[in-house]
């Protein structure tokens, strides 16, 4: 993308064939008109509306084999003309490179050089899509095979499919759950993609008896992704992949905080201009660029708002080198996804390293819901308020003042409710082991809510 921008002297964006944003370059112009509504929406929401897509396709870009110049149309939100470079591989369109047009426009030789770069991008996008699709069976086998020789054979098959470099490459496993339908045809930044069947009435009908790794979300199915990394402390590529799948507004807690701060800085520095916001967004996204392909080298992280409750969540395992530990990494990623769904402050994208006690609880609660006889009276719908009171009190390390403030109640009301908790459970909340038991039971119940 930077190479094309340099050749043509204009900021460029790369979208796939469905007009989903893959990558964009920094926009350094102070001309706010250059950031028209269509370009701004594409960058901030990572996609375009059906009407915008239909309008652009009306200029024949899906059939074009060379640059297409598209005039400005203020009534459609396009304040500046565009140059579209179709990205093809063996005659099949893989996506589009978009540049803002201006008089007198780039020279023919510069456009020809840019098309050569677009052709290289097409090859990389096609290879990425083919690799993700072709490795589905091998990747699933590694995640679901039992221990021993079956696991060794599955790892060997995946290693052969990925190539010799896979033995030493750094990877992260991502889980998105629940997942309905088939895996996406292409996931920029992912080396392999598959759907893992779950357990229960919503499990994959095509493979009802398929084994599932410990910690996998149940019931239902989950999407698994293998993402190449550049460094063990740089999980941005994995977060970017998860954010794209969950949609605009997703991201880890750290990414949401950073992006929110950046957006505030952009408004302060630019007076709220679209161009200033885009410059800041480009700078922030550089810290979370996916590795492993053309899209990977330039894509950014998602925006910074919460997704709708009850929707899918994503978990990211600890990075690992090679493929032998992928089954354990899948257990981590799926546990993190369950924690993100159970505890909103962790999601919608959660790293295994950030889920705290859920690392242990997910293993304890993977087979069946927590059903300790002492905690059972609190876990029914009738005692929801008492259960929340007890959980907040224990989250606050037994500090009554903090717990009352967090619950928005008087301290005497808190004491009354805690007394009722003790009566119902038979536990003594002055005893450390009783507190531990109740706290674990309440947290584990979240994983099965």
Write the pLDDT tens digit of every residue in 324-351.
Answer: 899 999 999 998 998 888 888 887 999 9
Decide: 171 and 323 in contact? Cβ < 8 Å.
yes
Greatest mean pLDDT range, 128-137, 205-214, 242-251, 373-382: 373-382
- The mean pLDDT of 181-205, rounded to a whole number, is 67
- The mean pLDDT of 303-310, rounded to a whole number, is 38
For residue 322, the model assigns a pLDDT of 86
Tokens of 95: 């996506």
State the Cα torsion 315-320-324-326 to the nearest 10°: 10
Spatial distance between the Cα atoms of 43 and 58, rounded to a whole number of angstroms: 22
Q: Where are the domains of the chain?
A: 2-122, 135-364, 376-447
51 CB-contact burial (10 Å; exposed 0-12 / middle 13-18 / buried 19+):
exposed
Q: Which helix (H) or strand (E) holds 89?
A: strand 82-89
Burial 98-122 (b: 16+ CB within 10 A, else e): bbbbeeebbeeeebebbbebbeebb
For residue 385, the model assigns a pLDDT of 92
Q: Out of 1.10.10.10, 3.30.470.20, 1.10.3720.10, 1.10.10.2840, which CATH number does the structure's domain 376-447 have?
A: 1.10.10.2840
- The mean pLDDT of 177-190, rounded to a whole number, is 79
Q: Is the pLDDT higher at 200 or at 5?
A: 5
Decide: 192 and 136 in contact? Cβ < 8 Å.
yes
The torsion angles phi and psi of 72, rounded to 5 degrees, stand at -65, 150
Query: What confidence tens digit (pLDDT) does each residue in 395-427 have?
Result: 899 999 999 999 999 999 999 999 999 999 898
For residue 444, the model assigns a pLDDT of 76
For residue 164, the model assigns a pLDDT of 75
Decide: 9 and 106 in contact? Cβ < 8 Å.
yes
Closest CA to 225 of 164, 312, 122: 312
For residue 172, the model assigns a pLDDT of 93
For residue 333, the model assigns a pLDDT of 94
Query: What confidence tens digit (pLDDT) does each residue in 38-76 have?
Result: 666 665 555 567 778 888 889 999 889 999 998 888 776
* pLDDT above 90 coverage of the chain, percent: 19
Total length of the chain: 449
Please state the pTM of the whole predicted model: 0.52
Query: What confidence tens digit (pLDDT) does each residue in 258-305 have?
Result: 444 333 433 333 344 433 333 323 332 332 333 333 333 223 323 222
Q: Which CATH architecture has domain 2-122?
A: 2-Layer Sandwich (3.30)
């Amino acid at each position: 993308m930077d190479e094309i921008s340099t050749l043509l002297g204009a900021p460029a964006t790369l979208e796939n064939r469905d007009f989903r944003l893959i990558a964009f370059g920094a926009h350094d112009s102070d001309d706010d008109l250059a950031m028209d509504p269509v370009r701004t929406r594409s960058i901030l929401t990572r996609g375009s509306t059906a009407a915008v897509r239909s309008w652009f396709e009306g200029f024949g870009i899906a059939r074009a084999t060379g640059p297409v110049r598209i005039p400005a149309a203020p009534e459609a939100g396009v304040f500046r003309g565009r140059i579209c470079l179709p990205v093809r591989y063996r005659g099949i369109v893989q996506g589009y490179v978009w540049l803002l047009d201006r008089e007198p426009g780039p020279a023919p030789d510069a456009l020809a050089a840019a098309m050569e770069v677009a052709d290289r991008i097409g090859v990389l996008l096609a290879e990425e899509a083919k690799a993700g699709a072709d490795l589905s069976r091998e990747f699933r086998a590694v995640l679901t095979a039992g221990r021993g020789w079956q696991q060794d054979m599955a790892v060997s098959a995946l290693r052969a499919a990925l190539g010799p470099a896979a033995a030493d490459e750094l990877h992260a496993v991502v889980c998105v759950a629940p997942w309905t339908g088939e895996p996406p045809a292409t996931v920029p930044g992912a080396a392999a993609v598959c759907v893992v069947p779950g357990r229960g009435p919503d499990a994959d009908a095509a493979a009802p008896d398929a084994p599932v790794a410990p910690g996998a979300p149940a019931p239902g199915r989950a999407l698994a992704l293998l993402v190449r990394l550049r460094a063990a402390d740089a999980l941005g590529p994995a977060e970017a992949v998860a954010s794209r799948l969950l949609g605009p507004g997703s991201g880890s807690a750290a990414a949401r905080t950073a992006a929110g701060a950046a957006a505030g800085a952009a408004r302060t520095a630019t007076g709220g201009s679209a161009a200033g916001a885009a410059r800041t967004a480009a700078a922030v996204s550089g810290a979370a660029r996916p590795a492993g392909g053309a899209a990977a080298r330039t894509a950014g992280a998602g925006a910074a708002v919460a997704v709708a409750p009850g929707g899918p969540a994503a978990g990211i395992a600890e990075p690992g080198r090679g493929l032998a530990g992928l089954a354990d990494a899948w257990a981590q990623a799926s546990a993190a996804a369950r924690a993100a769904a159970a505890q909103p402050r962790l999601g919608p994208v959660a790293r295994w390293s950030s889920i705290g006690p859920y690392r242990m609880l997910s293993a304890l609660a993977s087979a069946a819901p927590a059903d300790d006889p002492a905690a059972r009276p609190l876990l029914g719908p009738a005692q929801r308020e008492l259960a929340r009171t007890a959980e907040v009190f224990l989250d606050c390390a037994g500090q009554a003042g903090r717990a009352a403030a967090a619950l928005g109640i008087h301290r005497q009301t808190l004491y009354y409710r805690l007394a009722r908790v003790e009566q119902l459970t038979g536990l003594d909340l002055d005893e450390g082991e009783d507190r531990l038991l109740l706290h674990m039971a309440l947290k584990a119940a979240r994983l099965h809510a």
